[in-house]
Chains A and B, each alone.
Chain A
């Protein structure tokens, strides 16, 4: 027998990337996983390279990034790749989650995969936030100040926790150092979680498929069919990423972060990167600080409720017209939240944000269960002889 099939580790490579029996009917929406793996690899490689010239000190961090941009050979390329791939990573992860919501990928037997995926999202967000602090521009400092201060909403011990995180009485040198350490560590935690994500679904029945039924009647081996199909989107991704990196590398960034951090001057608007805006909007739409913080974390954790709240007997919404409309309302609402997060806290953005927040949570906890019960009943009525 070939070593590829008998070796304890290579056997896994074989069964995940070569022999994996993959549904023949999966669409291009099943390509995001491989793209996300590519993103993680790019981020780790460019990140480790950047760390070779970066200095995590409040006096030198900003200048060391400018040094990378101007003096280090191809440093500008490495940094722009790192910054823009971070955006691409989130763009693709939202599409990946959207695919999962649309096709019911969270339903049994892939519940564990879904739960691990949600944990991956949370750690990705933490990693991205920590990384954004490192250049120590204005938005780095003030973003870090706002987000770390969220912890002060915890009753009784909040302020102590915040000062513990800071390692002082404001965002300072100790904060920047520990953020650098954690930003270096977490991607490897992510890599481990990604392996768990893969193990979790390969060990049950592998990929789902657009029909939401068993794919056992028609499967193909992963290699060469899906290896090459994945390569199609990988090359497409490289083209789009190159357009960003080479022609508009700062399009998704904030010009305020090219101003060195100044604790004496608050910028006119403190906004996170675009991919965190929906959750920032949910945070700000609730007047009470503690409840706002709880709502923001609940908004991410709500994904974990999907296996419980989707009561439908069918997997996915492709054959359920009411749920399909609900899904696209949810997506449109998510985009509204994303815009609201970047607006000033003024009328009518406050009210629109509050309505959107209610709609966001209603989708998970009211709309999905109610609509799936209605559709179950309609199917039963229609099929009753």
Chain B
């Protein structure tokens, strides 16, 4: 170990931790138990199957996820679109000849 690092540790007054350990030690802040240690894994690129099942998932998994969320998302936008559409048409009607007559106002 270089002198500079020793000096740095002395200044900081604690064991030097890497970013993973630092985050783990801070985890009490987020209200979860402090893990004893953080495991990091790696797999040889030759053993990885990066695109395993991607084609199948692209259709069926995407559809499954879409189906489970669509009813949360779409109805508010349908209502919003209908409301704006009604407002625009109502406004156009009120600015038309029959609209003004219906409202009982004088035609400008």
Residues of A within 8 A of B (CB): 1, 6, 15, 19-21, 108-109, 204-206, 213-214, 216-217, 219, 221, 321, 324-325, 328-329, 331-333, 335-336, 339, 343, 346-349, 352
Given A19-B18, A349-B87, answer yes or no on A214-B73 (Cβ-Cβ < 8 Å).
no
Q: Which residues of B contact A15 (CB under 8 A)?
A: 19
State in angstroms the CA–CA spacing of A257 and B16 once bound together: 58
State in angstroms the CA–CA spacing of A205 and B38 once bound together: 14
Docked complex: B1-45 residues within 8 A CB-CB of A: 1-2, 4-5, 8, 18-20, 23-24, 26-27, 29-32, 35, 38-40
Task: Tell me if B4 and A347 are in contact (CB < 8 A).
Answer: no
Question: Quick check: is B96 within 8 A (CB to CB) of the other chain?
Answer: no
State in angstroms the CA–CA spacing of A324 and B39 once bound together: 33
Question: Quick check: is B55 within 8 A (CB to CB) of the other chain?
Answer: no
Question: Quick check: is B90 within 8 A (CB to CB) of the other chain?
Answer: yes
Q: Which residues of B contact A219 (CB under 8 A)?
A: 20, 23, 38, 40
Given A1-B4, A214-B30, answer yes or no on A328-B91 (Cβ-Cβ < 8 Å).
no
Q: Which residues of B contact A329 (CB under 8 A)?
A: 76
Task: Report which residue of A108, A332, A349 has the largest number of chain B beta carbons within 10 angstroms of its beta carbon.
Answer: A332
Checking A6, A216, A335 against B80 with a beta-carbon cut-off of 8 angstroms, the contacting residue is: A335
Q: Which residues of B contact A19 (CB under 8 A)?
A: 18-19
Checking B18, B23, B84 against A336 with a beta-carbon cut-off of 8 angstroms, the contacting residue is: B84
State in angstroms the CA–CA spacing of A217 and B23 once bound together: 11
Checking B2, B26, B35, B79 against A205 with a beta-carbon cut-off of 8 angstroms, the contacting residue is: B26
State in angstroms the CA–CA spacing of A333 and B31 once bound together: 34
State in angstroms the CA–CA spacing of A216 and B18 once bound together: 14
B83 CB to nearest chain A CB (Å): 6
* 7 pairs of A and B residues whose beta carbons are closest in the complex: A332-B80, A214-B32, A332-B76, A109-B29, A19-B19, A329-B76, A328-B76
B30 CB to nearest chain A CB (Å): 5
Task: Tell me if B4 and A325 are in contact (CB < 8 A).
Answer: no
Docked complex: B30-88 residues within 8 A CB-CB of A: 30-32, 35, 38-40, 72-73, 75-77, 79-80, 83-84, 86-87
State in angstroms the CA–CA spacing of A360 and B7 once bound together: 56
Task: Report which residue of B26, B80, B83 has the largest number of chain A beta carbons within 10 angstroms of its beta carbon.
Answer: B80
Task: Tell me if A348 and B29 are in contact (CB < 8 A).
Answer: no
Q: Which residues of A contact B26 (CB under 8 A)?
A: 204-205
Task: Tell me if B38 and A216 are in contact (CB < 8 A).
Answer: yes
Task: Tell me if B76 and A213 are in contact (CB < 8 A).
Answer: no
Question: Quick check: is B101 within 8 A (CB to CB) of the other chain?
Answer: no
Task: Tell me if B23 and A347 are in contact (CB < 8 A).
Answer: no
A365 CB to nearest chain B CB (Å): 19
A382 CB to nearest chain B CB (Å): 19
Q: Which residues of B contact A6 (CB under 8 A)?
A: 4-5, 8
State in angstroms the CA–CA spacing of A214 and B27 once bound together: 8
